[in-house]
Amino acid sequence: MAFNEQIKDPGQLSPLNLAFVGDAVYSLLVRTRLVLEANRPAGELNKQSSARVCAVQQSKDYYRLLPFLSDDELALIKRGRNANPQHKAKNATAGEYRNATGLECLFGYLYLKGENCRIMELFNICWNGDSDED
């Protein structure tokens, strides 16, 4: 049995626990996408990864995803946003940090539910959204 099958209902976990898992999921997706795009030096990979896995960028992704979420996903991302984390981001506003927590909460929940296709759909929206801003 896979470890994510041991959790019957991830929705019963605290939003901060879901965000803890979601942070790792989102970071892994970003790192994987960067490596698949091109063979780069590790320092460049780290720089590009850090630019995408930060509260400011994740807050933009939060708003980018809102129109594509189901009612349940919308409730969950807002539950994560409304959680009260114990620390704050150094380079982001409190609002950006809360939005990022909401995004991570959603990704953690979907991961623990085994919804890998949905994770990729939403991640692709986040990833491809940056090309609209250039």
- Mind listing the pLDDT tens digit for each residue in 68-126? 999 999 999 999 999 987 777 788 999 999 999 999 999 999 999 999 999 999 999 99
Q: What is the pLDDT of residue 86?
A: 75
Give the global pTM: 0.89
Catalytically active residues are 23
The span from the CA of 36 to the CA of 63, in Å, is: 26
Residues near 1 by beta carbon (within 8 Å), at least 6 away in sequence: none
Residue 76's contacts (CB-CB under 8 Å, 6 or more residues apart) are 11, 15, 18, 105, 106, 109
Task: Spell out the domain ranges in the chain.
Answer: 12-128
How many CB atoms neighbour CB 120 within 10 A? 13
Domain 12-128 belongs in CATH node 1.10.1520.10: yes
What would the two tokens of residue 24 be?
A: 């790792």
Residue 134: what pLDDT?
A: 39
The CA–CA distances, whole Å, from 42 to 35, 39, 58 equal 10, 9, 22
pLDDT digits (tens, 9 = 90+) for 37-53: 988 999 999 999 999 99
Amino acid 5: pLDDT: 65
